[in-house]
Structure 1
Amino acid sequence: MNIYIASYGKGEEKGIYIVDLDQAKLTLTCKRHVATPDFPSYMITDDNVLYVAYKNASAKNDGGGLGSFSIVHGDLILNNNYSSSGRSYTHLCISPDQRYIFAANYHIGATAAYALKHKLIDHKIGAVRHQGFGPDLLKRQTGPHVHNVGFTPDHKFLYAVDLGSDKIVMYRYQDGHLVADEKHSVNIIPGSGPRHMIFSKDGRYAYLVNEIANSVMVFKINDDRFSLVQNVSCIPHHFKGFSAAAAIRMTSTGDHLMVSNRGHDSICLYRVNKESGKLSLLYMVHTAKGPRDFNIIDDQYLVVACQEDNKLQLMTFDETNEKLLMTPYECAIPQPVCVTLND
């Protein structure tokens, strides 16, 4: 099985690494490195295309933007890279009709929209700047920082999770144009620093991981309104060091949810109550340093991208018996930051 790893490696090491996961032998083998002009910060797949959000790697304002690669027999063939004049993106999503791609600009706090044409990034439609700031004393909230974009399960809204202003901005969208819907936008507890949001399989609940507060918030959704029903920690209460929550994923069954912690360096495993939406902490499994991202494969394996230790780690998961175990199998990748599958 091929998996795709985004790398912040120095110089020519940065780019996308194609890694083979042998599920029988439990091995991770790097097959190919695809160099990119900028740092690939996040990647998604859609209809055998890998889309990339780029962080500008140039001292000049001529990089950043988005990229598109066709996936052919597991390999990557460049369709095009679209420079955004130095704008760096941290996340992206594709509209249900595959005509538009939306991107989160962390650095200036904006949600950008681009047109897609024949799986190419065709042109930029526009961007909406966010407003606001938060109380974080480490200066991560001196202004808006959009970290995550996506669609609500019913596709009524495009949402943008803003770490800097403690807000989930809901957008109405038509023909790629975005209009903020303040009535349905969600204000988060000040200082939380929301990072990424996912939804239950039935769309009744939303799960928001907070990078600064190191917590997961559970929201119940009624009539397009978000109501907070639970706020749980994702690090031990006795832990006093610095930590920053990162990735959040759910198994395909919807029975379990996981979060990665950078600093505490762990994967946190929760059981999901599908009726109430609430989470019950099971335990945490330590990883190498800086698990910025991970992905769940066939509800049986986790591939964890440990940025600070320059490696991928392989974990096994027995969902029936709720056993998440670290294996000794690893793969050296320079500063891995995103793990993507071709679903």
Structure 2
Amino acid sequence: MIIILSWINLYSQNTYVFFGSFNLDKDAEGIYVYQLDTLRGKLSKVTSFKGILNPSFLTLSPNGKYIFACTESKTKNAGSVSSFEFDPQKKMLHFINSQKSGGENPVYLTAHQNGKWLINGNYTEGSVSVYPVLENGRIQPSVQHFQFMEGSINPGRQERSHIHSTVFSPHFDYVFLPDLGADKIRVYAFDHEKREPLTAVEKPFTATTPGSGPRHFTFHPNGKFAYCIEEMGGAVSAYAYENGKLNDIQRINTHPEKLKEDFESSDIHISPDGRYLYASNRGYENNIAIFSIQSDGTLKSVGYQSTKGKHPRVFAIDSTGKFLVATNTGSGDVFVFRRNRTTGSLKKVSSIQIRQYL
């Protein structure tokens, strides 16, 4: 079983943590909801949802009412995006609807700040789909679909385009699309008032180091800097950002210099105060790399924290910056770490076993 943390949200004085998974069977639990004790850092199960296949990635609507999921991921002749409503009073998840994702392996969803748009990235096919969303959380059929084809220098991993995330700019007027297969961070302008909101820009991509495999992407809270974690290169590339354009300022390893292979960097997040950046390493290390963020946007290595399990695919930081929650896909467990806001260091406070890896 692969366990994936998607987000943490402060909701009516309660902090809920939502986990997706590759459940491989609709009769098995696919989405899990836990409540986080914000004093002790302990997780307690609230509810779960069956009846949906492989809800591999989750994201939250801006108003906090709806959960959007990549569903039927890695499923032949399938692939979809789905919508759910969480009722905190009844402690239940309700399915709303699904739409075709445009590929067999949807891996990442992002929602516009106005709640009216959803963008999905399909990894295997290297494509992106755009969906309108109604006020009741119902996803409408896609209005745009972009297919990319070119690959890069690694024939085993980069035979073609592989879109791995879809990320809005700080003002929600651009969308960035890290393409692991092509070693590019693609970009489109976004106009939420248009029926087809994505439009081409003069500089359609930023090239990354050949063979680096850009994966996940995030912006600094001040909107001036952006950071991309490279799955294959095991590095974070830092950029100065302005009006849809990225300018390189640094590339720094997520692992010690002595480690040259057997790793796959995965996820990346910045603390709410903008002082620290965290990046996950899978494989031999299974840890979170910790960096302090300098005033010029560059990163300085602070240290590493083991995730206490195997293959940490994604993690999240709660909105207060107090806790980091890491999921280990290979061991099917979740660990909660308390953040030291001064030093950026992490200390384990609790863990849960959701289900063994299958």
CA distance in 2: counterparts of 1:182 and 1:131, whole angstroms? 20
Q: Which residue number in structure 1 is paired with residue 289 of structure 2?
A: 268
In the alignment, is the contact (CA less than 8 A) between 1:7 and 1:335 conserved in 2? no
Is 2:358 aligned against 1:304? no
* Aligned counterpart, 2:71: 54
Distance 1:85 1:159, change over 3 A: closer
Tell me the SS of whatever aligns to 1:175: coil
Q: Is 1:315 the counterpart of 2:330 in the alignment?
A: no
| Alpha-carbon contact 2:163-2:181 (below 8 Å) kept | yes
Is 1:252 the counterpart of 2:272? The answer is: yes
Conserved 8 A contact 1:184-1:225 = no
Q: CA deviation at 1:80?
A: 1.3
The residue type paired with residue 151 of structure 2 is F
Residue 107 of structure 1: aligned partner: 124
Name the CA distance, whole Å, in 2 between partners of 1:94 and 1:187: 25
From 29, 53, 56, give the equivalent of 2:44.
Answer: 29
What is the alpha-carbon root mean square deviation over aligned residues? Answer: 2.0
2:113 to 96, 110, 117: 96
How far apart are the structure 2 equivalents of 1:310 and 1:109? 28
Query: Of 6, 9, 16, which aligns to 2:23?
Result: 9
2:48 touches 2:93 (CA, 8 Å); kept in 1?
Answer: no
Identity of aligned residues (%): 24
Which region of structure 1 is more displaced relative to structure 2, 5-14 or 185-194? Answer: 5-14
CA contact (8 A) 1:310 1:334 kept: yes
| Preserved contact between residue 270 and residue 283 of structure 1 (Cα < 8 Å) | yes
Q: Structure 2 CA distance, aligned partners of 1:281 and 1:240? A: 17
1:216 pairs with 2:236 = yes
Which stretch of the first structure deviates more once superposed, 308-317 or 20-29?
A: 20-29
Kept in 1, the 8 Å contact 2:274–2:293? The answer is yes
Partners of 1:116 and 1:123 within 8 A in 2: no
Does the CA-based 8 Å contact 1:14-1:334 persist in structure 2? no
In structure 2, the residue matched to 1:141 is 158
Partner deviation per Cα, 1:31-76 (whole Å, 9 max, x = no partner): 32212422112111111211111244654x2x32111111221532
Q: 1:326 to 1:247 in 2, by over 3 A?
A: same
Quote the offset at 1:154 in angstroms. Answer: 2.5
Q: Which deviations, in whole Å up to 9, do the C-alpha atoms of 1:95-116 show, x marking residues without a partner?
A: 2332221100111001111121
Give unmatched runs, 5+ long, in structure 2. 1-14
Alpha-carbon distance, 1:324 to partner: 1.2
Q: 1:56 to 1:154 in 2, by over 3 A?
A: closer
Q: Kindly provide the CA deviation profile for residues 119-172 of structure 1, in whole angstroms up to 9, marking residues without a partner as x.
A: 1012121311113111125x1111000010021113221221111001111112
Instruction: Say if 2:103 and 2:127, in contact at 8 Å, map to a contact too.
Output: no
Which of 132, 139, 144 does residue 150 from structure 2 map onto? 132
User: Cα 1:162–1:14, aligned 2, differ >3 Å: closer, same or farther?
Assistant: farther
* Structure (1 or 2) with the greater strand fraction: 1
Q: Is the 8 A contact 1:306 1:335 kept in 2?
A: no
Structure 1 position 218, deviation (Å): 0.5
| TM-score, normalization by structure 1 | 0.90
Give, in whole Å, the separation in 1 of the partners of 2:209 and 2:275: 27
SS of alignment partner, residue 55 of structure 2: strand
- 1:175-186 alignment, distance < 5 Å: 175-186=195-206
- Check whether the contact 2:24–2:54 (CA below 8 A) recurs between aligned residues: no
Corresponding residue for residue 187 of structure 1: 207
Supply the AA of the counterpart residue of 1:126.
Q
User: Which whole-Å CA distance do the structure 2 matches of 1:112 and 1:128 have between them?
Assistant: 7
Relative to the length of structure 2, the TM-score reads: 0.87
Q: How many residue pairs get matched?
A: 331
CA distance in 2, matches of 1:222, 1:5: 34
Which secondary structure state, in structure 2, belongs to the residue aligned with residue 322 of structure 1? coil
Spell out, residue by residue over 1:271-304, the C-alpha distance to the aligned partner (whole angstroms, 9 max, x if none): 111x200111100011211110111122111111
8 Å contact 1:55–1:90 — kept in the other structure?
A: no
Whole-angstrom CA distance in 1 between matches of 2:117 and 2:251:
34
Distance across 1 between alignment mates of 2:302 and 2:257 = 15
Once residues 254 and 353 of structure 2 are traced to their aligned partners in structure 1, the CA distance between those partners, rounded to angstroms, is: 27
**Equivalent in the alignment of 2:189:** 172
What is the rounded CA distance, in whole Å, between the counterparts of 1:91 and 1:109 in structure 2? 12
Match of 1:293 among 287, 306, 314: 314
CA, structure 1 residues 76+42, in 2 after alignment: closer, same or farther (shift >3 Å)? Answer: same
Alignment-derived partner of residue 172 in structure 2:
155
**Can you list the C-alpha shifts for 1:230-259, whole angstroms capped at 9, x where unaligned?**
000001111244111111011110011101
